[in-house]
A and B are shown apart, each in its own frame.
Chain A
Amino acid sequence: MRFTYAAPDPNTPPALDGVTLRIEAGEYVAIVGANGSGKSTLARHLNALLIPTAGTVSIAGMDTRERTQRLAIRQTVGMVFQRPDDQIIAATIEEDVAFGPENMGLPPDEIRARVRQALETVGLWEVRLRPPHHLSAGQMQRAALAGVLAMQPRCIVFDEATAMLDPAGRRTVRLMMAQLHAEGVTVITITHFMDEATDAGRVIVMDRGRVALDGAPTEVFADEDTLHTLSLELPPIALLSRRLRQSFPALPPNLLTAPALTSALDALPHRVTPMPAPPPPEPPAVGPALIEVEALGHVYLKGTPLEHRALRNVTLSVPNHGAHGLLGATGSGKSTLLQHLNGLLRPQEGRVRIGDFDLNDPRLDLRAVRRTAGLAFQMPELQIFEQYVGDEIAFGPRLQGLEGQALRERVRWAMELVGLDFDAFKDRLTFALSGGERRKVALAAVLALQPPILLLDEPTAGLDPLSRRELLTHLQTFRSAGMTLVTSSHRMEDLARLAETLTVMEDGSGLLSGPAVEVFSHEGQLRTLGLGLPVAAEIASALRARGWPLSPGVLTAEALAAQLEELIPRA
């Protein structure tokens, strides 16, 4: 099968190039690959949203080219898309779920029965009358799934359906995929999360429009070098296993899940007597606080019938050159808090101080605050407005009054910070860049103001593994260059790398706050909030439960390996 997007340039490489695949009924398949590798294009062929340029796609014996079969094909293969709010059509959840059955022309009673069943399956029956924009992203994604389930398809394709979700939402959707698979539905999931791919029975790796690898997760994730050339990476547990195998060659290869790794480690001969407690680590030298937030509260649309409280009594302090992380579910107030830190929002209750700026002072020059603290929004590439990369990045410095050679140098500096070559990229069209490149441009545009503080809202959401790894490396470089970072993220691995101190947000309040090591030691509380732990901490905790005398505060693979080396005698 081949597919070429209609493009004015006849030399455009095909989005799909000679793909031959056979997926059996009842399979659970994960499709992975870099941005632009053809995953989504492939998925859209599966329910006749796209028709192949050459070759054929046949779904349960029906050719997708046949117009008369189209409705039948779409009833056989349902699809859940990436952005939750772009696939909900109606004003209430209930009516949205009814949309598919209505298209099938079912009688009203049958529709109501199916809607109820679908909503109960995804656990949204209680909120069926709510308008979609009052639901969390995770709930909306479940509503989208219900809309598909109500059509009772035999196969469901999830097109990066978990990319925009918080850990709790992601876990629920993953459980539902497994449940559907157990009920005999064919599940196909496209994802950038390698750990999700290990849930599946079969992993297909796409690369430049071709199938590069196709096999069981243990086969596909066996060869790390091949994965790197395909811009992918190992799942977090596999990465950790690989690191531990360097220290303990006795560990078997291909450990892809936490229980497997824990059992394999537990099988190694080890001491169970506690080590003499190491001296408590020096508390990091705390400089004077650069950002101070005291009892901050915020209510959106205050004084209207639509008002809702986003923050209550949040207190926070970040030292100069510090790295602070915010975690919490969608809607817990992280973004609202970040917007207070660069003066986009003024404190309604409580106090905020950024360096020398007192945000409670009504005469404050807000532009100066925004220059001090640069904020990169979630999905910042959506806010790009200039045609050329260079102009986009020059927007901020130009407003500062920079021009000519100085402006040019500033743009060059910012682009090089994020790893974009100035000469190669400055005249590129912003809308023709890849997702990862656009994210870099948006970040460079904020950095071009040379802010001493960088605020990042979900910097890695929706990026493919390669772009994410590059971005994290750059952010760590800024850290060592003395920039103060405040990052919000749903990915514990990111925070374990980027943050020294953490605040856990829950329903607008700061629930836990302190050094990362300490916050991650409240495992039970984090789990009840639907948050997780970095994998190294998770394994350490599982080993502790089996009687291993590990000391607390293990967050990284290195720290875990160091402790295990003390406990496992060398061969």
Chain B
Amino acid sequence: MPDFEFQRYVTIGQYLATGSPLHRLDPRTRLLSGACLLIAVTAARHLQGLGLALGIALAALLIARVPLNYALRGLLAPLPFILFLAVLQMLIGPQAADAPALVSLGPLQISMQDVLAGVTIIARFIALILLISLTSAIISTSEFVHGLEALLRPFTALGLPTQDLVLMAQVTLRFLPLLALEAERIAKAQASRGAEWGTGKTGILQRVRQTLPLLVPLFLNSLQRAEALALAMEARGYHSGKGRTSMTELHFRAGDAVALLIAAGMSALILLL
């Protein structure tokens, strides 16, 4: 029974070390390409562009050797939400005056354009989720941190505390899976004491009522953890600012340039189609 496995339906943020060609690129390339495509998908206006984006995402998932059924499972949790948005868009989206109505429900009229708008929303969200899952599957936390640090380094001159920002991101990523595990443990402890977790017959109201006893210990434990971590970091001489060095050195190769060009080209296509 997967009732307590909170991690199961979260495919975003899960690194998969498959050793594919995509994994071997410079982290900066992977970050920039992912960012390009994500921006393109967010800004694309037409269904054709989004269709292309979906195709690219699926192809990239194949190249990255991420199991497709695993990536698609990540869509299950937000699906009701996406469908709801799509229906909302169809019902109350801006009405085109000259569009013939397909269906009329009293004052509400649904035209072909509305249906298209709804489908566009669905396609956009699916492409976004797949791309984010892909990016997180091919960039490990440490690569992400080093890549980000290298990309942000020019901004240090402008007075931006990049090292602190990057460390913040690093610690957050390190503790997210721990938080999920902790939530699982607390839910189990409460189920052992008669709460309705994991018995498969819970209404929405009950779920809300159960969440509070879950959140309190989760919050307190996180605070304790944060304190312990801060101590451990301080004890190892952490200080922000000058004088810190890094063990990792990044190398930008020809393959990276090619990959970056492809990603940029595709992003432009998605936008223009």
Contact = CB atoms under 8 A, between A and B. Distances in A.
B171 interface: yes
Interface in A31-57: 44, 47, 49
B246 A385 contact: no
A450 B245 CA distance: 58
Contacts of A300: 5
B1 to A, nearest CB: 4
Contacts of B145: 90-91
A491 interface: no
A151 interface: yes
A386 B214 CA distance: 10
A106 B231 contact: no
A435 interface: no
B interface, by DSSP: helix, strand, loop or mixed? helix
Interface stretch (B44-52, B95-103, B191-199): B191-199
A375 B192 contact: yes
B142 interface: yes
A377 B189 contact: yes
A107 B247 CA distance: 8
Given A103-B236, A103-B239, A148-B236, A380 B229 contact: no
Interface stretch (A11-19, A72-80, A530-538): A72-80
Given A305-B67, A344-B188, A90 B198 contact: no
Contact of B231 (A49, A115, A367): A49
Nearest to B188: A344
A346 B3 CA distance: 10
A103 B217 CA distance: 33
Contact of B189 (A75, A99, A115, A380): A380
Nearest to B194: A399
Given A89-B233, A106-B245, A384-B217, A400 B142 contact: no
A528 to B, nearest CB: 30
A255 interface: no
Interface in B138-186: 140-142, 145, 170-171, 173-174, 177-178, 181, 185-186
Contacts of B105: none
Given A74-B236, A91-B142, A346 B1 contact: yes
Interface string B242-261: 01111111000000000000
Interface string A58-95: 00000000000001001100110101011111111011
Interface stretch (B30-38, B109-117, B220-228): B220-228
Given A147-B236, A346-B1, A382 B228 contact: no
Interface residues of B, number: 61
B237 A85 contact: no
A345 B225 CA distance: 27
B216 interface: yes
Nearest to A370: B192
B237 A103 contact: yes
Contacts of B190: 383, 385, 395
Contacts of B196: 367
Contacts of A148: 236
A121 B67 CA distance: 38
A383 B239 CA distance: 33
A74 B7 contact: no
12 contacts: A91-B173, A99-B233, A103-B237, A111-B247, A115-B247, A133-B177, A133-B178, A300-B5, A377-B185, A385-B212, A396-B194, A399-B193
Interface of B: 1-2, 4-5, 7-8, 14, 16, 67, 70, 73, 140-142, 145, 170-171, 173-174, 177-178, 181, 185-186, 188-196, 198-199, 212-214, 216-217, 220-221, 225, 228-229, 231-239, 243-249
Task: Please give me the 10 A-B residue pairs with the lowest Cβ-Cβ distance, nearest first.
Answer: A91-B141, A87-B232, A86-B228, A396-B193, A383-B189, A399-B194, A98-B247, A105-B243, A103-B237, A100-B236
